[in-house]
A and B are shown apart, each in its own frame.
Chain A
Amino acid sequence: MTKTGLAKTGMIDFRGVNKWFGTLNVLKDITLSVEPREVVVVCGPSGSGKSTLIRCVNGLEAIKDGDLVVDGQRLGDPATNMTQLRTEIGFVFQSFNLYPHKTALENVTLAPIHVRKIPRAEAEKAGRELLAKVGLADKVNAYPAQLSGGQQQRVAIARCLGMRPKIMLFDEPTSALDPEMISEVLDVMVAVAEEGMTMMVVTHEMGFARKVAQRVVFMDAGAIVESGTPEEFFSHPKTDRSRAFLSKILRH
């Protein structure tokens, strides 16, 4: 941390981060610090930049200016080994992105074996345990196409946990799921959070936020508009924009 010349940082530290897609300012002067073991839920209307925000953390998107320090390493710094840093960051996608040509177990063990260089037998043992933990002990040899959406997303979470990451990022993990499958995925996410994982979760699932999040960050038009505890945010939103947003997602 001292080598970056910055003061004490959290696990994920955005300082005045800006990003443009062409002329569109998709992230506007973002300053946000996520502490170790903290769970931060990011919500906001479609196109508000919340996915872009977490995709910057593991460098799937590059930032234009400002500082983004993750696990003590400054992104974009030549001294930062992005490939190495990514092994410490799990990323769960909205559309799962499991490898279709690999079984559930192979999906979980692929990166541990080839990236972490863990011996195959050991990786497979850990993989089976992780699949059991997400409730899929009987699906170890199933291919993604043979699994439901909820099951695929649980495999995807196990795939991230197989790398023993310090941080987990979730990009709308339940948005592509049928309603009856949402809770099985959220239950796994709650379990991961309760084990002390540092998490940034883009979601509109208020039940999840209330249960495990220390903080809810509300974004609109690329900027962080409001930030507070789930209780504060959902019960007493402070801005017009967050009130308008909440009235839309709460109406039904």
Chain B
Amino acid sequence: MLENFSFRTIVEYLPLFGQGLITTVWLSALSFVGALIVGIVLCAMNLQRGWLFRVPAKAYIDAVRATPLLAQLYFLYFGLPRLGFVLPELVVGILALSLNSGAYIAEIIRAGILSIPRGQVEASVASGMTYVQRMRLVVLPQAFKVTIPPLLGQGIVLVKDSALLSLISVSELTRAGQLLASDRFMPAEGFLTIAAFYLLLYYGLKGLAGVSSRWLGTAGART
């Protein structure tokens, strides 16, 4: 079986995989930053008491979570130009991932904020802090810490979801595997290699989360 497996071809295609890997890394990183911004804004809207901001935020989050990312991607890629917005595929890809992941991140951050005990808010209210001070000094620093593991999970999902961008001809990692599969009829080599690279990215992200966890300190243990 293995005699049919061509390591030589993989090595030959390594520059292509390398380029794909680099594209996947930076477009995922950009999308994650975008998703964080979308998520924070949505979460802030969602935590308002008045319906004016809360209802649209909830509707958006539900709509994104209820529909397949592929459908969202196709809507942006094929649908938007018909409505008069023509964007390069890379921009469309990053936009789709940001808008999609942002909805999940909004819920992750909201759960983090709601996990902070009521007593913390009461103590800061009682000391005369304004809403913004309360959030900035007491709630968010604590919420951020409990939010890191689920955010990491979402980051991993985002990296894997970025494979869908191969369908709108973005030359990322999965696209490189597809090329090897179609050029040389070597799907095993192509897709096994990209799987190995995704695994590498996964461990990279895990390491990053560990570092940031330690950087935020271990002293915040709840009493």
Which of chain B's residues has its CB closest to A96's CB? B223
Chain A CB within 8 A of B1 CB: no
B138 / chain A contacts, CB cutoff of 8 Å: 99
Task: Assess the B126–A145 pair: CB atoms within 8 A.
Answer: no
Contact B126 A86 (CB under 8 A): yes
Q: Which of B119, B137, B141, B220 sits near A93, CB closer than 8 Å?
A: B119
Q: Is the CB of B122 within 8 A of A93?
A: yes
Check A114/B223 contact, CB under 8 A, given A95-B119, A99-B123, A101-B141.
no
Contact across chains for A58 and B126 when beta carbons are under 8 A apart: yes
- Asked if residues A87 and B128 are in contact (CB atoms below 8 Å), the reply is yes
What's the nearest-Cβ distance from chain B to residue A243, in Å? 34
Interchain CB contact under 8 A, A115 and B133:
yes
Interface centre among B123, B129, B142 (most CB of A within 10 A): B123
Are A115 and B127 in contact, CB atoms less than 8 angstroms apart? yes
B223 & A101 in contact (Cβ 8 Å cutoff)? no
User: B137 and A114: CB pair below 8 A?
Assistant: yes
A89 — nearest CB in chain B belongs to which residue? B126
A163 touches B (CB below 8 Å): yes
Known: A86-B128, A114-B129. Contact between A100 and B221, CB under 8 A? yes
Q: Is the CB of A60 within 8 A of B221?
A: no
> Is the CB–CB distance between B123 and A100 below 8 Å?
no
Distance in Å: Cβ of B38 to nearest Cβ of chain A: 26
Check B130 against A83 for contact (C-beta < 8 Å): yes
B-side interface size class: 20 to 34
- B125, CB-defined interface residue at 8 Å: yes
User: Is B49 among interface residues, defined by CB-CB distance under 8 A?
Assistant: no
In this complex, what residue of B is CB-closest to A94? Answer: B119
Q: Give the docked Cα–Cα distance between A152 and B223 (Å).
A: 10
| Contact present for A97 and B123 (CB under 8 Å) | yes
Q: Restricting to B27-41, which residues have a CB under 8 Å from any CB of A? A: none
B137 touches A163 (CB 8 A): no
Contact residues of B between 196 and 221, Cβ < 8 Å to A: 217, 219-221
Q: Are B220 and A114 in contact (CB under 8 A)?
A: no
Contact of A97 among B120, B129, B141 (CB under 8 A): B120
* Residues A145 and B222 in contact, CB atoms below 8 Å apart: yes
**Do A101 and B219 touch across chains, with their CB atoms under 8 A apart?**
yes
Does any Cβ of A come within 8 Å of B145's Cβ? Answer: yes
Which residues of B, 118-172, contact A by the 8 Å Cβ criterion? 119-120, 122-130, 133, 137-138, 141-142, 145
Expressed in whole angstroms, the Cα–Cα distance for A154 and B21 within the complex equals 55
How far does the alpha carbon of A79 sit from the alpha carbon of B39 in the complex, in Å? 37
B127 touching A101, Cβ below 8 Å: no
Does A197 sit within 8 A of B, measured CB to CB?
no
In the complex, the answer to whether B127 meets A100 with C-beta atoms within 8 Å is no
Supplied contacts A86-B126, A87-B127, A114-B129, 8 more A-B pairs, CB within 8 Å: A83-B130, A100-B221, A100-B223, A101-B142, A101-B219, A115-B133, A143-B221, A152-B223
Q: Pick 19 A–B contacts, CB within 8 A, sort by A.
A: A58-B126, A60-B122, A83-B129, A86-B125, A86-B126, A86-B127, A87-B128, A91-B126, A93-B122, A97-B119, A98-B123, A99-B124, A99-B138, A101-B219, A115-B127, A145-B219, A145-B222, A145-B223, A152-B223
The 3 A-B residue pairs with the shortest CB-CB distance, nearest first, are A87-B128, A97-B119, A111-B127
